[in-house]
Structure 1
């Protein structure tokens, strides 16, 4: 068990990557604090995990709520060793079509949530010499169409990761940034359903369409991304901090101008 006796806080733990990571961590011996804005999904995951899980519904962009989630976890389990900063998701539209409220929501949901989560957890992580995994996206490295807020804030998470690594590495805290490509999650399913409606195809065909030029020709599963979170949280990655790890089936390895020759 690679996380035996460790305590992890997983933000965005109700579904998708967060839920899969929480389950994997408990299987590896950890106790988990599950946070997110929707109490229902958190309660379902916590019920599956039993005494090893504590659900704390919270908007982790809110300082008071994030602080309380950290406090509740430390009080229940005795320490905090790992943070998975996974919450986020807003940010559609091109720049000229993004109004002030959309821009504010993009920053709050993707960047502020991660910043506040990490800031409020850092005192406990310094004490435990713990680890943070910032879940960004390949949108933190490249730009998709008409998602300016999402792309901008996911890029910013790479900078936040490096800043924390530089400042808190000397105090024993590691932080790495994970950039997945397409992952089969409820959020991605909603995006696939746009293609389902537009093209009259199935959801599986939509996933095949968006990965047709990806070398592995498929999206990841949430469990595959959870396995990488486990590696980054465990002693197996003890020398790694400030790193950007891409898990995209090879998508960002593709030279787009040569696609016509394929």
Structure 2
């Protein structure tokens, strides 16, 4: 018996993934810095177990892996989903903001992967690193976030190159807009600026040029993560999987033509 570990498991994509995996019969350990949302998610399913820890803390993540292994016999998969903000231009980003953004968006994944690698080798397990389409292109005034998400793809490729022959699979997942509490906050910025009258209108605004015409539900992204962790994707390795409703296929200079 083994379990999956999900960082950033208290809300959004992490919480949706935990529920989906638990419903499928897997044990899941969710990790985050805030106990309250973790416990709320864990209360929804007997197979979801919460550990309060900072995914960027090497000692803390080593303890999470050790506790998971002791309780469940090993680690079957890791979802490196923790992330954070980094919303400013290079010129207006302070040193502290830069460090904080890279810690939240990149270091958390690096530390979690490093902590889990030995157990994942033993189980021949899989890793999914949740990046973003911000890992493929740059939005305005998002220097720290954009750089961190781009770097995650490099991290995935490095681990894939070094650990594939040791039995560990790893892939990057790049979602577009997903309805999560963090995205709701970003929609609220558009409402406050007067660009949209409410959050629903803001989502419509930011997805007006998305070929599917909408944001994803967190459960849709969770299903993609479950696929990448599972037996249906055993030859998918070192890949960057995009789940963005078609956003990144759009030829921006042709938008005026409809």
> Under a length normalisation based on structure 1, what TM-score does the superposition of the two structures give?
0.97
User: Are 2:85 and 1:90 equivalent residues in the alignment?
Assistant: yes
Task: Count residues with an aligned counterpart.
Answer: 257
C-alpha distance in 1 between matches for 2:180 and 2:27: 23
Superposed CA offset, 1:134-183 (max 9, x none):
00000000000000110001000000000000100000000000000000
Superposed CA offset, 1:33-59 (max 9, x none):
110011000011111112x12211000
Superposed CA offset, 1:40-98 (max 9, x none):
00011111112x12211000100011111111111111110100000012211011011
Alignment of 1:18-97 (within 5 A): 18-50=14-46, 52-97=47-92
Q: Which residue of 2 aligns with 1:253?
A: 249
Runs of 4+ residues over 6 Å off in structure 1:
none
Aligned partners of 2:2 and 2:69 also within 8 Å: no
User: Are 2:198 and 1:202 equivalent residues in the alignment?
Assistant: yes
User: Are 2:2 and 1:11 equivalent residues in the alignment?
Assistant: no
Structure 1 gap ranges (5+): none
C-alpha distance in 1 between matches for 2:23 and 2:79: 16
Shift of 1:6: 4.5
Structure 2 gap ranges (5+): none
SS of equivalent residue, structure 2 residue 84: coil
> Paired residue for 1:213, among 205, 209, 213?
209
Shift of 1:261: 1.3
Aligned partners of 1:130 and 1:172 also within 8 Å: yes
Aligned partners of 1:87 and 1:110 also within 8 Å: yes
SS of equivalent residue, structure 2 residue 165: helix
